[in-house]
């Protein structure tokens, strides 16, 4: 019988990513003790000093976007810059599309 592989968890205040086995229990940050956010196995953490990347990640996670592998590989498109995030948030507001769906939209009409 095979066990599950590791998946990523993030502490946004500490800007830290932790790979841990997947399970139903709550994980805590070893640095600050806050609850970690499950982000998925296809997540690659930005550098701790990359302010913009952590702000983008915060918007994505707070909107419910995660980084799970799909049948074809990675998690699909995710915005990398604040401008891409702003454009998609404006699109969501103008069209009524859910924010999480607009954020992972690769092209805007």
Tens digits of residue pLDDT in 54-73: 999 999 999 999 998 866 66
Reply yes or no on whether the pLDDT at 6 is more than 90: no
Tens digits of residue pLDDT in 84-96: 999 999 999 999 9
pLDDT for position 4: 62
Q: Where are the domains of the chain?
A: 6-103
Tens digits of residue pLDDT in 16-28: 999 998 888 899 9
Show Cβ contacts of residue 52 under 8 Å, excluding neighbours closer than 6 positions.
81, 82
């Amino acid at each position: 019988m095979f066990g599950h592989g590791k998946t990523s968890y993030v502490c946004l205040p500490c800007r830290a990513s932790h790979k841990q086995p997947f399970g139903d229990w709550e994980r805590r940050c070893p640095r600050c003790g806050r609850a970690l956010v499950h982000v998925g196995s296809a997540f690659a953490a930005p550098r701790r000093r990359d302010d913009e990347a952590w702000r983008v990640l915060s918007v994505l996670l707070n909107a419910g976007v995660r980084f799970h592998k799909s049948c074809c590989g990675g998690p699909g498109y995710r915005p990398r810059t604040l401008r891409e995030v702003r454009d998609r948030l404006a699109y969501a507001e103008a069209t009524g599309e859910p924010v999480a769906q607009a954020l992972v939209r690769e092209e805007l009409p």
